[in-house]
Amino acid sequence: MALKATIFKAELNIANMDRHYYQSHALTIARHPSETDERMMVRLLAFALHAGDALQFSKGLSADDEPDLWQKDLIGGIELWIDLGQPDEKRIRKACGRARQVVIYSYSGSSADIWWRQTGDQLQRFTNLTVINLPPDISRALGKLAQRNMQLQCSISEGTCWLADDAQSVQVEITPWKSAEDY
């Protein structure tokens, strides 16, 4: 018998001074059985950083041909493709060919560093690709915010994000390893 996804609910209030985006989102997040709280919260952080009316969680780990989050235009074209972790160069090439903008959020400390050393040079040619690395202490701290029902505040200003609930706050410095030309 296959394991089912665990459902999380999040009320996410976003104040993004960098993009002048101020909105509240009631989110239902399906955490795949193989997904950790840390990875799920990195997905939530990526949502907060790129939030908009059309941004949505995809099937993620359940579908090989979909990113973790995406934003489509009115005719189904992919405007934004967001992946987490350390995708291989073939997947990134495919994403860069299909989407106007691709963002990868890498985390996991030394394995992310090794992945970047091995693939970073190959990825420089993709002008629509941004790669952001989250230090392991930050992604672990994000994982500690995970609860089945969450009330979260997100403030973003000058490339710094604060994600908090009533008990704790996590500060995230957004420092890209690679920036897209129009990011």
The pLDDT tens digits of the residues spanning 57-87 come to 987 655 577 899 999 999 999 999 999 999 9
Which pLDDT score is estimated for 175?
83
Which pLDDT score is estimated for 65?
74
Instruction: Name the DSSP letter for residue 149.
Output: E
Q: What is the mean pLDDT of residues 125-151?
A: 96
Which uninterrupted H or E stretch holds 19? Answer: none
Helices H / strands E in the chain, number of each = 4, 11
The ranges assigned to domains in the chain are 6-178
Which pLDDT score is estimated for 61?
56
Which pLDDT score is estimated for 109?
82
Asked whether 132 and 176 are in contact (CB, 8 A), the reply is yes
Residue 175 burial class via C-beta count within 10 angstroms: exposed 0-12, middle 13-18, buried 19 and up: exposed
Which pLDDT score is estimated for 1?
52
Residue spans of beta strands (DSSP E) within 73-140: 78-84, 99-106, 129-133
Instruction: Name the DSSP letter for residue 62.
Output: G
Q: What is the mean pLDDT of residues 157-175?
A: 94
Which pLDDT score is estimated for 148?
96
Asked whether 89 and 76 are in contact (CB, 8 A), the reply is no
Which pLDDT score is estimated for 2?
62
> Binning pLDDT at 50, 70 and 90, where does residue 40 land?
very high
Architecture of domain 6-178: Roll (3.10)
In the chain, % of residues over pLDDT 70: 96
